[in-house]
Amino acid sequence: MAQLPQAVPEARTGPAARALAVRKDAATSLLLEDHLRIKKLFKQFAQARMAGSTALKKQLAQQTCAELRIHTQIEEEIFYPAVRRASGDPDMVFEAVVEHASASALINQLEGMRADDPMFDARVSVLSEYVLHHIKQEEAEMFPAARKALGAELDAIGQQLAARKAELMQQAGIALEPHVHHRTH
């Protein structure tokens, strides 16, 4: 009887293992955590909108705008230049910067608005569409390209991102989330 080829356990090769394998560098881990938090905030906003809670909508929109400002700033200051330098694909980075600029224009408008303004929800909604599309592109194209081009350098870049993020959060008067803080050590 022919011997069966030795089975490789699914846990080591399946999608979950691959997801873990690509999440281990400090730079993209930090950015992915930000993405998760931002997506969660947009979901919470949609729930507050359904519940008709103007005060909660305002608070969530403010928090989302603050998170987005800091996230896009550290990407533009530290992560994008490194990707641009190493990947040899400047267009991918330029497009991402243009998308940041569109989001930033909406953020500026939102920050000057009352949550009971009839245009408020529409602006958050369009901002959410822009940002979700942008996050998808980054995770599907830019992060894999960064891992390929930068490799082990991503850990040092992750430390820079974490340090700059902490500084910007402090300037904006936002408390550091405990798990984000721990990950920098």
Which range touches Fe ion (CB under 5 A), out of 8-16, 71-79, 107-115, 119-127?
71-79
Nearer to Fe ion, 25 or 75 (CB): 75
Nearer to Fe ion, 121 or 141 (CB): 141
Binders of Fe ion among residues 83 to 122 (CB under 5 A) are none
Q: Which residue from 93, 70, 77, 74 is spatially nearest to 145, judged by alpha carbons?
A: 93
Question: Of all helices (H) and strands (E), which one includes residue 15?
Answer: helix 15-22
Q: Minimal distance in Å, beta carbon 103 to Fe ion?
A: 8
Q: Minimal distance in Å, beta carbon 99 to Fe ion?
A: 7
Q: Minimal distance in Å, beta carbon 78 to Fe ion?
A: 12
Nearer to Fe ion, 25 or 138 (CB): 138
Residues in the chain, total? 185
Q: Is the dihedral of CA 137, 129, 28, 172 positive or negative?
A: positive
- Whether 46 and 124 have beta carbons less than 8 Å apart is answered as no
How many binding residues for Fe ion (CB under 5 A)? 2
Write the DSSP assignment of 16-66 as a string of letters.
HHHHHHHT-SHHHHHHHHHHHHHHHHHHHHHHHHHHT-HHHHHHHHHHHHH
Nearer to Fe ion, 48 or 131 (CB): 131
Q: How far is 123 from 45, CA to CA, in rounded Å?
A: 12
Q: Minimal distance in Å, beta carbon 37 to Fe ion?
A: 11
Q: Minimal distance in Å, beta carbon 171 to Fe ion?
A: 20
Q: Tokens representing 135?
A: 């996050």
By CB under 5 A, tell whether 27 contacts Fe ion: no
By CB under 5 A, tell whether 25 contacts Fe ion: no
Q: How far is 31 from 26, CA to CA, in rounded Å?
A: 9
By CB under 5 A, tell whether 75 contacts Fe ion: yes
* Chain residues that interact with Fe ion, rule: CB under 5 A: 75, 138
